[in-house]
Amino acid sequence: MRPPIPTIYVLCIIVSTLGFSACNTKPVKKEQAILSPSGVITDTLYKLLDSARTEDTLMQEQSMPFLFFQSGHLFNHTEKHAVAVSSPTDSTAQIKLYHLQDHTWQLMDSLDGLPANTIAFHTIYADYNFDAQTDIYIQQSASNGYVMSRGYLLLINPLTGRISLHMETEDLANMRPDAKTSTVFSEDWQGADGNKSPVCTLHNKWVSGVLKTIDVPAHKDKVP
């Protein structure tokens, strides 16, 4: 009969086995959820919409990824709306229009694939087609010196709240709607001679739903 193994030897074997097992066990890394740019935009937008429900006005702009948010009485004095413009890619943008009903934001309309230039981004709210409904102008570029602001119009249907894109305005600089004459004035300035070049005021009218230049005055209005 073999003599029994001393207890101390058994304990040493167990400790050695546990130590070897611990050394060969890879630590488990806690994975962190990394949101994509579109995921970051969605997450931030939800938070802004939630805050905007109780705020009179709210505006925020961030980059990388680009997101512009503005809420308040943007289109009339009795209802609250929110506008969100995001740029999931370097070349395209998306706009979403919301309406607050019973303390809940309702998506009225959205447009994808809009031209994007986040550096020159700027919005103007005005009634550009004279239907008593405020529309949105989005600036795409702004020149140095005498500023020539160019961009596109997003007309909002007063009955349905749907958005219609008008890219024909991207060559019309410094647009200014005049309700008395139903004319959208714009400016033309070549700048060939520096600040000595005069500025022309162009007269633009809506023809079959398209904004067209109908008159180019022969006289020069001003020198910047």
The better pLDDT of the pair 126, 221 is held by 126
Confidence (pLDDT) at 31:
41
Mean pLDDT on 82-104: 93
Which pLDDT belongs to residue 190? 80
Contact 93, 120 (CB under 8 A): no
- Where is average pLDDT lowest: 95-99, 149-153, 215-219? 215-219
Q: What is the DSSP string of 33-67?
A: ----HHHHHHHHHHHHHHHHTT-S-EEEEETTTEE
Sheet of strand 163-166: strand arrangement:
123-126, 135-142, 149-156, 163-166
Phi, psi of 2 (to 5 degrees): -75, 140
Phi and psi torsions of 61, nearest 5°: -135, 135
140 within 8 A of 122, measured Cβ to Cβ: no
Cite the beta strand spans of the chain per DSSP E.
58-62, 66-72, 81-87, 92-101, 104-115, 123-126, 135-142, 149-156, 163-166, 173-178, 183-188, 200-207, 210-215
Instruction: Please state, in angstroms and rounded to a whole number, the distance separating the CA atoms of residues 18 and 15.
Output: 5
Provide the whole-model pTM: 0.78
Could you report the per-residue pLDDT of 186-220, keeping only the tens digit for each?
999 887 666 667 889 999 999 999 999 998 766 55
For 194, the 3-state DSSP assignment is helix
Residue 32 has pLDDT above 60, yes or no: no
pLDDT of residue 90: 78
Tokens of 144: 């140095």
Give me the pLDDT at residue 27, please. 46
Q: How many CB atoms lie within 10 A of CB 117?
A: 16
Using DSSP, state whether 191 is helix, strand or coil: coil
d(CA 101, CA 181): 35
173 has pLDDT over 60 = yes
Contacts of 73-77 spanning 24+ positions with Cβ under 8 A:
74/125, 74/134, 75/125, 75/133, 75/134, 75/156, 76/134
Segment 6-32 mean pLDDT: 47
DSSP β-bridge partners for residue 205 = 212
Give the pLDDT band of residue 26 (cuts 50, 70, 90): very low
Where exactly are the structural domains of the chain?
Answer: 37-116
Q: Does 38 score more than 90 pLDDT?
A: no
